[in-house]
Amino acid sequence: MPANSRLRPGQPSPSPLRVSIVGPSDLVRVQVEADRLRSRLEGAGHVVACRLVGRGEWGAVDWRPVDDEGTDLVVVLGGDGTILRTARWMGYGQVPVLGVNLGTLGFLADFSIAEVDEALGDIAAGAFRLVDHLMFETEVIREDRVIHRVLGLNETSILAGPPFSMIEICLFIDGEVATTYRADGLIVSTPVGSTAYNLSAGGPIVRKDLDAFVFTPLSPHTLTNRTVVDSAARSYELLLPQPNEGSACVVDGGVVSGLAVADRVRVRRAQPRFALVETRQHGYYRTLRDKLQWGGGLHGAGSRAPRRAAP
């Protein structure tokens, strides 16, 4: 449970709530919806701050609580990319997030704008769940010195880059050699990131509230190199004996660093947890059914699926 939020599932929310509305300022629809939500929340007596920032400026603006007492809820307007930026923006002071999808697919930004008012009512009544998600720290180590340290939510990727020949990536688990990948790269994903780059690369979907890392090689030279899922309680290091000129470490879609000979990339569980609000309207498998069109048959059969298994 985030220490700087007063939200408690099963309990009516404290009044007033301290709510921060976050989104990209360069989208007109985000500004319109932010103004509408702010008016609704302030009309109900809550304290609201709008933090709309250009997508290229997120790293340059410090995260601030709504007031001196902190923030209870962050309403993110946008898509999954906006939520990833918000998670990095909040850093080590995570606050529960209600994700509102104004983008495309939206696994994290799960609520439509038409559902927001009902969701806020559920939160006020305590009819919600807080689902914690694994976050990780990635360190790039050169000559025994950490040159970059980044907090992430979805994945760390090691990409071969130009001249686009495969590279070797040695995986160490708690200091022990596990395997060497010969591939175009390697994705180290969290469960919440398993439906992102990992899924596109043929990796598995892992339930997002599990504490695990998913290792998926990109176009491996050896067909027996398959995805591995292992505990997040371990420390993982990736050693690159001979990277390409353009090889890079990428976290949540952003380039962290180019990689030189003998660089190591360490990935391990971070102390903060990303907390996402779910209400009775939304659950994990409903999201997968809707987003991945798991209909159970043709022509929208999923819309007629039973609400629960028969006794």
Task: Give the model confidence (pLDDT) of 242-257 as tens digits.
Answer: 999 999 999 999 999 9
Q: With 50 as the cut, is the pLDDT of residue 182 above it? A: yes
Tell me the pLDDT tens digit for each residue of 27-81.
Answer: 889 999 999 999 999 999 999 999 898 877 776 567 888 877 789 999 999 988 8
Q: Calculate the average pLDDT of the chain.
A: 87
Question: What would the two tokens of residue 59 be?
Answer: 């790293």
**Cα→Cα distances 245→99, 160, 166, 208, 249, Å:** 38, 9, 12, 35, 13
DSSP letter at 202 equals: T
Q: How far apart are CA 244 and CA 246, in angstroms?
A: 5
Q: Give me the pLDDT at residue 14, please.
A: 80
DSSP letter at 70 equals: B
| CB-based contacts of 126, cutoff 8 Å, min separation 6 | 8, 9, 10, 11, 12, 13
| CB-based contacts of 22, cutoff 8 Å, min separation 6 | 51, 52, 53, 74, 75, 76, 77, 82, 86, 89
Instruction: Determine the average pLDDT of the residues in 208-227.
Output: 90
pTM: 0.86
Q: How far apart are CA 41 and CA 201, in angstroms?
A: 41
Catalytic residue among 80, 110, 184, 263: 80
Distance of CA 166 to the CA centre of its chain: 28
**Burial (Cβ within 10 Å: 0-12, 13-18, ≥19) of residue 101:** buried
Q: How far apart are CA 200 and CA 174, in angstroms?
A: 28
DSSP letter at 263 equals: -
**Burial (Cβ within 10 Å: 0-12, 13-18, ≥19) of residue 204:** middle
Q: Give me the pLDDT at residue 20, please.
A: 95
Q: Give me the pLDDT at residue 61, please.
A: 65
Tell me the pLDDT tens digit for each residue of 153-166.
Answer: 999 999 999 999 99
Q: How far apart are CA 37 and CA 39, in angstroms?
A: 5
Task: Tell me which residue of 278, 264, 266, 251 sits closest to 88, measured CA to CA.
Answer: 251
> In order of start, what are the domains of the chain with their CATH numbers?
18-126 (3.40.50.10330), 136-269 (2.60.200.30)
Q: How far apart are CA 259 and CA 263, in angstroms?
A: 6
Q: Catalytic: 110? A: no
- What percentage of residues in the chain have a pLDDT greater than 70? 87
Instruction: Determine the average pLDDT of the residues in 17-21.
Output: 94
Question: What would the two tokens of residue 297 be?
Answer: 């048959």
Instruction: Determine the average pLDDT of the residues in 180-193.
Output: 95
